[in-house]
Amino acid sequence: MGDRRRRQDLADAAAALPPRLLPWARDGKSCYLSTDGGPNSVLSRLADEMEAVQLGMGVNVLESADRVLSDPKSPHSEVRYTALRLSECLRDALRVAESRGDRIPESDDEDHENGPTLPAEAFG
């Protein structure tokens, strides 16, 4: 089984399809997806859906946190619970951002150190 996995990893690397960081972890360890279907594979689409769910949950938790934190009489236990949930959501959002950033193709442009440029008209 290990040899098969190694061959798949080599094939993915040769095809310029690096393993995808998945939006979940097991026991604090990162999970990666290596597939020949690229972004259109069933598992990639499932990961996309999971990312959307996690980000949506983050929006809901943030709205709840706004209510709890704006009330100076919120009990300590409720504030603590809110902070724990915000921490979970931030961790999920950072994992999604890292995964998406890893999938952005490298630019061939030599001037990429200066970042993107916009025409003056874009600023009104």
Q: How many helices (H) and strands (E) does the chain have?
A: 3, 2
56 against 40, higher pLDDT: 56
What is d(CA 117, CA 119) in angstroms, rounded to the nearest whole number?
Answer: 7
Q: What's the mean per-residue pLDDT of the chain?
A: 84
Close Cβ partners of 35 (under 8 Å, ≥ 6 residues apart): 12, 17, 20, 41, 43, 44
Collapsing DSSP to helix, strand or coil, 11 comes out as helix
- Does residue 3 have a pLDDT over 80? no
- Determine how many CB atoms are found less than 10 A away from the CB of residue 51: 20
Q: Mind listing the pLDDT tens digit for each residue in 60-79?
A: 999 999 999 999 999 999 99
| Average pLDDT rounded to a whole number, residues 96-108 | 85
